[in-house]
Every structure is written in C-alpha cells, then in structure tokens.
Structure 1
Amino acid sequence: MISRRGLLKSAVALAAVAAVGGHPQFAFAEGETIKVGILHSLSGTMAISETTLKDVMLMLIEQQNAKGGLLGKKLEAVVVDPASNWPLFAEKARQLISADKCAAVFGCWTSVSRKSVLPVFEELNGVLFYPVQYEGEESSKNVFYTGAAPNQQAIPAVDYLADGGVKRWVLAGTDYVYPRTTNKILETYLKDKLGVAADDIMINYTPFGHSDWQSIVADIKKFGSAGKKTAVVSTINGDANVPFYKELANQGIKATDIPVVAFSVGEEELAGIDTAPLVGHLAAWNYFMSIDTPVNAAFIKDWKTFIKNDKRVTNDPMEAHFIGFNMWVEAVTKAGTTDTDAMSDAIIGVSVPNLTGGYATMMPNHHITKPVFIGEIQADGQFDVVWQTPGLVMGDEWSDYLPDSKDLISDWRKPLSCGNFNVKTGKCGGKG
C-alpha cells in the first residue's frame, strides 16, 4: 500500500525542480495560430472581479507573442463572456474547446462556474487553468488549480486570528459551494483543533449580489458583544462585498472591534469603495500588489502600460494567471506540442517565478506551491503585510479535517494517475 507520507515526500522532491530558462525566438508560421481561451465574466455580479483577469490574460498573450510566440506560432486569444451565468459557463467552455479549438482555457472565478465546466473539460479532454482560491475537495486531470486550497489561505488565516485572541467566529459567505465547503472545513477545524464551542460560531449565507446588509451586520455586532474577542471570516464573493463593507462602516464596526478577514476581497474590489473606514480589516492571499520585489515592480509597470491606466491595480488571481500561463508555456515547450496529455505530463514539476520573490511549482496533484500572506487594508486601498508563512505551502486538495477526505490524495503521474487515491484502502475512486 502506498502511504500518504511516501507520496507527499516524492511530491515535495519535485518542488526542487529548477525553473526552465528563456524561450527561443521563433518566426511565426504562416497562417497558423495557437488559440488560448479566456473564460471570465465580463458582465453580471462577478464582472467586478473577473474582467481584470481577462485583461491580464490579453497582456500575457501579447508579451509571449513579442517573445516569438509558442512553437513558432502566434498565440491568439479567444474571449467569451459567460456573464456570471453558471450554465452559460459550460456552454462557452464547449464552444472554446470544440468550435474554437483552444489549446488551453484560462478562466472561471466561482466554484459553481468551475463545477459547471468541469464535465465539459473532462468529456472533451480540454485543459482549464483555474486562478482563484477554492474549497478543495476536487482534483481533476483536466484542471490545474493555480489559486489557493484551504490550507494555503483559510486555515492560516484562522490560525492567525486565534493566535491574536479571537474566541468567537462569524463565518459569513455567499450561498454556493465554495463558502459552504470552506466553512464546513473551518467549522470542523475550529471545534476539533482549536476547541471552539458551537455557541461561539455564527454561520450566515447570502445570495450573489446581496445588497441589504443592515440586519445581518447588526446581528454580527450583537454576536460580538458577548465579552469575547470576535472576528468575521468572510467568503462573500463579487459585488456584494461593496455594500457589506459600507454597512460595517455605517454601523461603526472597526477592525479593532470585530476584524474581518476576507478570502475574496483584494485590491480590485477595494478600488470601488471608500477604504478609509476599513483600515485594519484583513485579507488572506498568496500575493499583494504592495509586496516589494523586482519581479512584481516590473509586472505592475507592464500592467499599467498595457491597460493605459496608472490607477489600475493588480491582485492575487492575476498573479495566479501569470504563474499558470508561464507554466503552460514551459510545459508546451518541453513537450513540443499543445496536446493535452503530453502537456499535462510535462507540466508536473515545472517551476516558474511567482511575483513575491520565489518560485511556484506544479505538483502531482495539479496544485501549486505558494507562500501565504495576511494583509491589513490601508486607506489607499492597498494592503500592509502583517504576517506570512516562513516558506512555501503545498496545496492540499483533500482536507485533512473532513472524515470522508482525510485519507485521500491525488497524484496524476503514471502509474497512479488518480485524483482520489485512498491511502487506507489502496484504491482509486469514489471522488474526483
């Protein structure tokens, strides 16, 4: 029987793989392009977060073409708008793979959109690079998860707050799979690992685009008045964050009273609201625009030049696309083809620079290594990093804190080639 520890050791060994060097300069082949799909909402409730990801993909593709393209061919972006409509995501994904013949697709934000397209990518053997933090509990051979798993964002954030004396917890989220599954993991973690009583956990869900936060924020304020330090762990997504934070300010809730740590609020979302009353509230990500490294400074400069707007910001999912796109380029170059299976084999172990001064490595479970940062909101809408992991964290696709998942691992290398291998039964299957 293969042990979890043994497989993880072999996976960690792959993290030491050095980054592949520069790209050869190709002349474009006549009349041939490699199509790259961009599957992000440009309208609807998620446009506030996803439009900028479309823009950064266009920048990355333009930059790669300036280097000579890929395999001697020019990259061609194919942009679609699934319009924050989850079934439409699946329809647009099928179009990108079947009709447009895209070699790879970069897209989705919400887990419900990823779940919608997943059967399409698996049926048609397409490739999706998914750039946003998610709930875990999934590992597909057709998806590369360049956003954070819960152990790369949610668990470290809770530990940080607990170390700061938080005893009561509000788990507030949008009503769909990512917040519900993440909060299921966090509730179990709080009770079993941190000894938090059930009465000290308040859970609340609201629909996408929710705008009336007065009574909910009042309930949070009342919950925090019991004499124990209280914090909000927010998995609220999309444009509902704008009225939520405004209502916190309206009711006088400051970070010194009830701090909020958010997993889906970054620089882009803060650009639309008055941040002065929110100073000191927190976010947990794997990248912040304020991180001072030469590679990040160059990225920000390139971005502002490309977008022709010096006020536009960068954020964590943009870095995830930066990493994922460069990994794809390296893997295609290594394999000598855009073929899904050949590229997928080649990408395991590929390391590319991140924007925070290190390297990201694609692991056998199709997740990447990441640092974790916690930042405080500043009056200018940027984040001041107040805590970070001492090194890189490998994404854990199956939670150690859920009974049905704790014995599962994923390893897409041959001969295992399994996304849900049970280390106790020695069998593959049951989940995926």
Structure 2
Amino acid sequence: MSERINVGLLVSSHGTYQDMGRSTLAGLRDAIAEINGDPAYEFTIVSAEHDPRGELNEYAVGLNRLMESGAKHIFGTTTSASRKEIIPDLERANRLLWYSCPYEGYECSESVLYLGGCPNQNLLPLMQYAIANFGSIACLVGSNYVWGWESNRIARELVEMAAGEVITEKYYRFGDTDFDALIKNIMSQQPCFVLNNLVGESSYHFLRQLSAACLKKGIRIPVLSCNFTESELPRIQGADSIRLLSCGAFFESVAPSFVAKQSAAHGRQPFSHYYTAAYISMHLFATARQKVGHDDPEAIADVLYRLKYQSLLGEITIAEHNNHLSLPSYIAEAKGSQFEVVHIESGSIAADPYLVQSSFDVFRNLAARSTRGNFLRVVK
C-alpha cells in the first residue's frame, strides 16, 4: 500500500471572490486526481479542505485545522490579505504555503512559494503595452487593501515616468457595487485607459456599469487587469462597450491542446491562470516529494531550487533567493467568452518582486510618444 501524504487546500469557493477560488480549487483537485492515478508515484496525496468563504479571520482558523490534520504543505489563499494573515503561523509551525495567484510584490517569506506572478511579470508589460498603444492618461481603481494600493502605486509611477497623468485614483471595500460617481468622472475626463484592481463582485459590477456608460456615450475605453481570467468572463457577458485586457502567464488560447486534454479528463470548465498555476503547483509538489522521499518543507523547497520543471508554461524555475517562480507573460483581450492573445513577452521572466533589477527605460522613452484620448469612438 502506498504512503499517504497529507496536504491542505485553503481556498475560498464561496464569497465575493469565489470564481477565482473555485478555479484554483479545480486545478488542485484535478492535479491530485492525476497524481494519484499515476503508478509512477510511490505515494497517494490525501487532501483536507477548508473554505474560509472570503472571511479574513477564517483563514487562520482553517490553517490550524489543516495543520492538525497533518498537512505540512498548504495550497491556496487568493488575496494578499488572506496570504499575509497566515504567514506568521506558517513560519512558527514550519509549514509551506504554495501561493498560485498573482500578487503585488514587495514580499518574500521562506514559508511561501510565490507561483502566480508579480508586477515585473504582469503589471509592467501591461502598462508598457497600454501606454504605447492607448496613451498615458490613466484612471486607477482598486479594492481597498494591499493589492489595490501597491498595484496602483506602481502604475502611477510608471504613468508619471512616461510623462502621463493619473486623473483619478479610487478605492472601494470588498463587495461595493455603486460606482456612479467614479464612472461619471471617467466619462467626463475620458482617460486613455482604466487600470482595474478591484476584486470579485466589485469588479464585475464596475465593468458592467462602465460598459453601459460607454455604450450610451458611444466610446470604448480600454480597461486593464492583472487578475481577470476566463473564470470570471461569464460574470460580465454583454459588457461589450469596453476593451478588457488582461496580463498573465496563461490563457486558454495559449495551449488549446491542454484545454482539450483537461476537458476530456475532467469536464469542460474555464482553464484560467488560477487553474493552471494551482495545477502546476501540485504537480511541482509531487515531483519534489518523489525526489526527496518525504514531505519536509525545507527539503522540498531545496529540491525545487535545483529543479528545472517542464510544464505547459515551458521550463520554469523557482529562485532560491526569493521563492518566486519564473513565468511567461501574455497580454490578451476579451472576445466574448475567451481571451485572445495580442502580445507575448519574450521568454520566461524571472521574478523581481522588489523591482530592483527591472529596467524602466522603456517608460522614459515612451514619454515623447504619450498622447491623450486615444480611445475608440463607436461610429453608427
């Protein structure tokens, strides 16, 4: 009988950002099913799950329950607030969190593997693309926590570096749905683009309301995001009067053969970046566990630092000095129920979470090209 390895899945599949969580959870579950069905592995992964339902205080409760079940490796958390909530407990207990969502950078813990992308892998390429193609007059909006604050702070610096202007910067609580004042401001000032760092339900309401306002005025304003994926597109169906662009390490159109294979094996669902990053994280764990022969977090991490792993994202590595994953970077635009890739960054990008090695010359060079009001007007 094969050895049983306990892992914990700490994912909110209910609450304001449930769509992101459900996609993450699906990726983890499907990977576990594949690993357990593969005779090459000398163990069976047994998962315990806890759903915090988007409530911040429930993450620590869930972590304790999962650790009590024997889990040394925790997969999940979606928001940076939920991740930060449990880091002190992870560090005290010598547990390892496999965090597979994009985040705002400026963090490095030995108890966290950052697998979903940070600003130099998504926000910088997206801002460069937007300023070059749309102009440098921006509106910044975000949920009122560290993801929104830090992402918009970086974006503001990039806009100003390109000799542009941020006409407004607003923050909203999780679950807020009234954006009338902000949208009136956007309609009157007509920025070149909007950077949307809202999360979950707030984001869907904002995008639908903004699209309705654009339709009434006869314009299409680009809206940028680093955390919007196929798993959420059904929430904004019909919001066709905005141009929704997102940047991430994976979109379905990047690997249609993977989408077809997973659909046949596990059923059709949105195979978003949340799905694929979580899916890869569990396969990475299984590969490292096979090499180590046990599940001690320090030993697992040490193997990962020396591992060049071939995945659907290409060859990826985890940097020992910051626990971050190298990733490809794609920019895609929503077209109906899918995203179509419009730009690909060259090669796999090593993470630079503190932005100390990234070059900003391209934004300085864009300063001479910056223009205002490069949005599209609908002609009827």
Using structure 2 for the length normalisation, give the TM-score: 0.88
**2:214–2:242: 8 Å Cα contact kept in structure 1?**
no
Distance 1:275 1:129 in 2: 35
Look up the SS of the partner of 2:294 in the other structure: coil
> How far is 1:73 from its partner?
2.5
Amino acid at match of 1:204: K
Aligned to 1:411: none
Question: Aligned residue pairs: how many?
Answer: 356
**2:211–2:239: 8 Å Cα contact kept in structure 1?**
no
> How far is 1:166 from its partner?
1.2
2:28 to 19, 44, 57: 57
**1:323–1:352: 8 Å Cα contact kept in structure 2?**
no
Look up the SS of the partner of 1:151 in the other structure: helix
Distance 1:378 1:126 in 2: 41
2:80 to 111, 120, 126: 111
Q: CA 1:144–1:278 in 2, change beyond 3 Å: closer, same or farther? A: farther
Aligned to 1:258: 221
2:200 to 238, 262, 267: 238
Aligned to 2:234: 271
Distance 2:262 2:218 in 1: 31
Amino acid at match of 1:146: L
Amino acid at match of 1:133: P
**1:293–1:355: 8 Å Cα contact kept in structure 2?**
no
Alignment of structure 1 residues 244-393 onto 2, 5 Å? 244-252=206-214, 257-275=220-238, 277-278=240-241, 280-304=243-267, 310=268, 312-356=269-313, 358-364=314-320, 365-379=322-336, 381-393=337-349
1:137 to 103, 106, 110: 106
Alignment of structure 1 residues 178-257 onto 2, 5 Å? 178-191=147-160, 193-197=161-165, 200-224=166-190, 230-252=192-214, 257=220
> How far is 1:243 from its partner?
1.2
**2:137–2:159: 8 Å Cα contact kept in structure 1?**
no
1:127-166 Cα shifts (integer Å, max 9, x gaps): 1100111011111111001111100111110000111141
* Structure 1 residues not aligned, in runs of 5+: 1-27, 305-309, 403-432
Q: CA 1:69–1:62 in 2, change beyond 3 Å: closer, same or farther? A: farther
Using structure 1 for the length normalisation, give the TM-score: 0.78
Aligned to 2:377: none
Look up the SS of the partner of 1:268 in the other structure: coil
1:146 to 105, 112, 115: 115
Moved >6 Å (runs of 4+): none
Distance 2:299 2:310 in 1: 23
Aligned to 2:65: 95
**1:106–1:129: 8 Å Cα contact kept in structure 2?**
yes
> How far is 1:300 from its partner?
4.0
Distance 1:375 1:101 in 2: 41
Amino acid at match of 1:246: R
Q: Percent identity?
A: 25
Look up the SS of the partner of 2:169 in the other structure: strand
Higher relative contact order (CA 8 A, sep 6+): 2
Distance 1:101 1:342 in 2: 17
Aligned to 2:5: 34
1:161 equivalenced with 2:130 (yes/no): yes
Aligned to 2:375: none
Look up the SS of the partner of 2:253 in the other structure: coil
Q: CA 1:65–1:128 in 2, change beyond 3 Å: closer, same or farther? A: same
Amino acid at match of 2:51: D
> How far is 1:369 from its partner?
1.1
Amino acid at match of 1:43: H
Q: CA 1:375–1:120 in 2, change beyond 3 Å: closer, same or farther? A: same
2:351 to 366, 387, 395: 395
Distance 1:256 1:315 in 2: 29
Distance 1:103 1:157 in 2: 36
Distance 2:138 2:265 in 1: 40
Look up the SS of the partner of 2:194 in the other structure: strand
* Structure 2 residues not aligned, in runs of 5+: 359-380
Q: CA 1:175–1:384 in 2, change beyond 3 Å: closer, same or farther? A: same
Distance 1:269 1:330 in 2: 30
